[in-house]
Amino acid sequence: MSTETSIAYLSHARYGKDKVRVFRIVREGNWHHVVEYNVQALLEGDIETSYTQADNSVVVATDSGTCVDGLLCTSMMLIGFYPNTSVKNITYCDLCPPFRRDFHLSNAENPLDMAKTSPHILHPERFALHLGTFLVSKYAHIHKAFVTIEKLRWQRIAVKEGEEAKEHPYSFFRDGDDKTITSVEIDGTQGKDKLTAKVSSGIADLLGSLFHLHQASSIPELPSAVLKSSGSAFTNFVRDEFTTLIEVDDRIFSTSIDLTYTFTPFPVTLEFFESDTAGAQEKGTGTPWDGETVAASARRITLELFATDDSASVQVSRSNGISSTHACVPS
């Protein structure tokens, strides 16, 4: 087809790596910290010719040691990858054990193995900011990086010692299926010395589904871990010839919740993450630097509101949850 008559054009391009698994152990003597992430990292920039002219000179290959999966996959063994194509911008890598046991920062063999060397690995917001800032700072033709981290839950096992139960220093269990989700956009379109960061975080897969008390005889088995057996109603809705739902002033209520909150954008530099240059404002309460505390507060507020709110509808409960979270974490 002649390019003169073609109406097809490339409006924008983004590529990178998805489903990158990171498992990290940080040891403080006999006291161990563990995190497990699923990471997606995507890049935007002057890469159009890789799609339109078969010009790979602008492509940061996602299987190289200095690209996305090389930066992240230090905890697993890379056993395969699929190359990037213009049809499918997000590519996958397959990872498998064995897990490495020498995860001390001082043992870093490659300074680009960010999952191994980043001092922010235990904090998803900080780690995503560090990774995204590095990618945009490293490559002159890359102007934006998008990093999404899904953090899986691991809780220390309580072991009884005498009359008290204490947390075990290196044994953990998964205490819920909900996940903390963090999405970071690093924008360098105004210049490498004027990077800005946008951070959104939240919770996914917290609860289950919705059904009514009068339908209790047909309640299916649900994976939901949280429900309330009272304190929820649904009345005064539109009723016409198509309506079969019965109005109820008391029902069983269990709802699936995905919560997302967005922080105020702020400027960043690579030195910000590789040295202790962040000031009180950047590291203040309720900022992305305080992401773990914010996530815990959002989860607690959501569950407390679910339990205590005398709900007239799912919509009202959602609105009250948003207002309560924002009131506690205004940034």
Q: Is 234 annotated as a binding residue?
A: yes
In angstroms, rounded to a whole number, what is the distance separating the alpha carbons of residues 151 and 37? 5
3-state helix, strand and coil shares in percent for the chain, rounded to the nearest 5: 25, 30, 45
Q: Exposed, middle or buried, 231 (CB in 10 Å: 0-12/13-18/19+)?
A: middle
Q: Is 263 annotated as a binding residue?
A: no
Write down how long the chain is.
331
Choice between 210 and 197, residue whose per-residue pLDDT is larger:
197
In angstroms, rounded to a whole number, what is the distance separating the alpha carbons of residues 143 and 189? 5
**This prediction's pTM:** 0.73
* Under 8 Å between Cβ of 75 and 24: yes
pLDDT tens per residue, range 154-167: 999 999 888 889 99
Mean pLDDT of the chain: 73
Q: Is 27 annotated as a binding residue?
A: no
Q: Is 63 annotated as a binding residue?
A: yes
Give the residue among 265, 264, 236, 263 at the shortest CA–CA distance from 249: 236
pLDDT tens per residue, range 61-84: 765 433 443 344 333 322 223 333
pLDDT tens per residue, range 79-132: 223 333 322 222 222 233 333 333 333 333 444 567 788 889 999 999 999 999
* Under 8 Å between Cβ of 314 and 299: no
Q: Exposed, middle or buried, 111 (CB in 10 Å: 0-12/13-18/19+)?
A: exposed
- Residue 218 clears pLDDT 90, i.e. is over it: no
